[in-house]
Amino acid sequence: MVAKSLYNQIRMDNLAAAHLRETVQRRRALRGGRPLARPPRPLSTKPLERRYFVELKRITDLLRDLTKQSLIPGLSDIVAQAKSARPVTDSLRLDDFSDEVDKIMDYIRGQFLREYSESKIIGLAVRVAESVETFNGQQVDKAFRKVFGADYSRFEPWLTQELKAFTKGNVSLIKSIPDQYFEKVEGVVLRGAQAGKLSRDIASDIANQFGVTERRAALIARDQVASFNGQLTKLRQTSVGVTKYTWSDSGDERVRPEHAARDGKIFSWSDPPPGGHPGEDVLCRCVALPVFDETTA
Collapsed DSSP state (helix, strand, coil) of residue 271 = strand
Give the Å distances, CA to CA, from 116 to 51, 107, 121, 163, 295. 18, 14, 6, 22, 48
Q: Which residues, 6 or more positions from 1, have their beta carbon under 8 angstroms from its beta carbon? A: none
CA distance 220 to 230: 15
Residue 245, phi then psi, degrees to nearest 5: -145, 160
Cβ atoms 225, 250 nearer than 8 A:
no
Owning domain of residue 278 = 2-296
DSSP output for 191-233: HHHHTT--HHHHHHHHHHHHHHHHHHHHHHHHHHHHHHHHHHH
DSSP label at 243?
-
**Residue in 32, 21, 18 with CA at minimum distance from that of residue 293:** 21
DSSP label at 290?
E
Distance from the Cα of residue 209 to its chain's centroid? 21
Q: What is the residue type of 145?
A: R
CA distance 222 to 215: 11
Cβ atoms 53, 203 nearer than 8 A:
no
Q: What is the pLDDT along the chain (297 residues), one digit of tens a residue?
A: 545 554 455 455 555 566 566 665 565 555 556 667 788 889 999 999 999 999 999 999 999 999 999 999 999 999 998 888 666 444 445 556 788 999 999 999 999 999 999 999 999 999 999 999 999 999 999 998 888 877 777 789 999 999 999 999 999 999 999 999 999 999 999 999 989 999 999 999 999 999 999 999 999 999 999 999 999 999 999 988 899 999 998 777 678 889 988 989 999 999 999 999 999 988 888 999 999 865 544
Domain total in the chain: 1
171 membership: H or E segment, kind and range = helix 159-194
What is the model's pTM? 0.86
CA distance 135 to 84: 60
DSSP label at 111?
H
**Residue in 201, 208, 200 with CA at minimum distance from that of residue 184:** 208
